[in-house]
Amino acid sequence: MWWSSLLHRLTGPTRLARVRTPPRRRVRLDLPGRGPMRVVYDQAVVHESFSLKARVLQRSARIVFKPLLRVTPINDRSLTVIRGLDRFSARRPRSRHVDFEVHELGGVRVESMTHRYGPSSDMTLLYLHGGGFFSCGIESHRRICERLALKTGATVISVDYVQLPEGSVADSVHDAITAYAALLDASDHPDKIVVAGDSAGGYLAMKIAELASRRGLQAPAAILGFSPLLSVDPDREDKAVVRVIRSRDAYLPVQRIAKIRERWLPEGAAIEGYASPLHAVAYISSPTFFVAVEDEMLRPEVEAMALLLSERGVEVETHLWRKQVHAFPVLADVLPESEMALQLAADFARRAVGELEHESTVDPAAREETMVGEIVPEPAA
């Protein structure tokens, strides 16, 4: 994102640990960051350590950007200003190692990237950028796409889908599935198309998987979701989603979601299929890779989705990270944790299409931990 370069010169180590705990338990919480990370999805890989860069970024976002987002009006003028700020990202020089081409898929503008020195692959990775359906774009997310092109060897196609104020979430979904369907028709290897996205882009990636099933199209070979939005009401806490930690999202103000939702789904807008991918599990069969942050607002539904998919026999790999900001893998040129997350995602994608030529990336310091805490009985119906 446009503000990420402020922290480019800081460094620090990364470590992870594997956690296996019984699923679907309620746990009375301590404050986040104290003691072993608690999980709901028992196969989650927990990354406990964090770099100095990550800690400074998280604190800066909480002190500076979150208060700004609390008071920023949600209107056409402010949305236009935000989009203008994001376009500053386009002024950064492109990687000299990446060949790119701007074209269309089914009438939707896209940018294709191929890394000259990445491992060769028949895979195509369709990327949907995040930004709450009102900010960011293919320019702001060019770095993560370049890194994925290097790490996977795939052709990475970034989709410039319609956003607010020009269209609603329903229009964004239409552009996403239209681009995917056109890519299936154009690809020499439609069985090796991986769909990825962060935040709102993660929502669109899951919608592509759902709608491909509903329309009888080839399902994605895999789905990569970096802090994906999995419902249009993540702020509600009266759903059947287990929460094991209090949300302290670094820069997403929970109280603004209701106001933003009015713009996401204006009167008369109808999203094809389910409005929330969390309800569409029965239509999703693609191997799925998730990344989420310990205390971010969207984490509970990521774990809920992981549970629901795994119960259906879908392969799921979930990584939970401590002291990061929402959708941190986007900061591929800033954080060492982003590099690790993208390498793990790349290994998952190459394994899903049968092209992983080396052992999956692991951390030699990984260890099993036992969940500790007081078990709270389920409330009476």
Is 82 a member of any domain?
Answer: yes
- Using alpha carbons, list the distances in angstroms from residue 195 to 9, 16, 186, 281, 325: 32, 26, 16, 16, 22
Phi then psi dihedrals of residue 263, to 5 deg: -85, -35
The number of domains in the chain is 1
Q: For residue 54, what are the domain limits?
A: 4-369
CATH of the domain at 133: 3.40.50.1820
Mean residue pLDDT across the chain = 84
Helix (H) or strand (E) holding 200: helix 200-215
Is 374 a member of any domain?
Answer: no
Helix (H) or strand (E) holding 368: strand 368-369
Is 319 a member of any domain?
Answer: yes
DSSP 37-93: PP-SSTT-EEE----HHHHHHHHHIIIIIHHHHHHS--SHHHHHHHHHHHGGGGGSP
**Contact criterion met (CB below 8 Å) for 176 and 193:** no
Strands 108-115 and 98-105 come out as antiparallel
Q: What is the pLDDT of residue 34?
A: 61
**Contact criterion met (CB below 8 Å) for 286 and 315:** no
**Contact criterion met (CB below 8 Å) for 292 and 303:** yes
Of 112, 106, 223, the residue nearest 158 (C-alpha): 112
| pTM for this prediction | 0.85
Q: What is the pLDDT of residue 33?
A: 56
Give the tens place of pLDDT for each residue, 317-376.
999 999 999 999 999 888 999 999 999 999 999 999 999 877 777 654 343 444 334 434
Q: What is the pLDDT of residue 244?
A: 84
Q: How far is CA 7 from the centre of its chain?
A: 21
Place of tokens 């509600």: 236
In the chain, the N- to C-terminal Cα span, in Å, equals 44
Is 376 a member of any domain?
Answer: no
Is 381 a member of any domain?
Answer: no
Is 219 a member of any domain?
Answer: yes
Give the tens place of pLDDT for each residue, 156-181.
999 999 998 889 999 999 999 999 99
Peptide bond into 234 cis (omega under 30): no
Q: What is the pLDDT of residue 250?
A: 67
Report, as ranges of residue numbers, the positions in the chain whose pLDDT lies below 70: 1-34, 85-91, 250-251, 362-381
Question: d(Cα 27, Cα 151) in Å, to the nearest integer?
Answer: 38
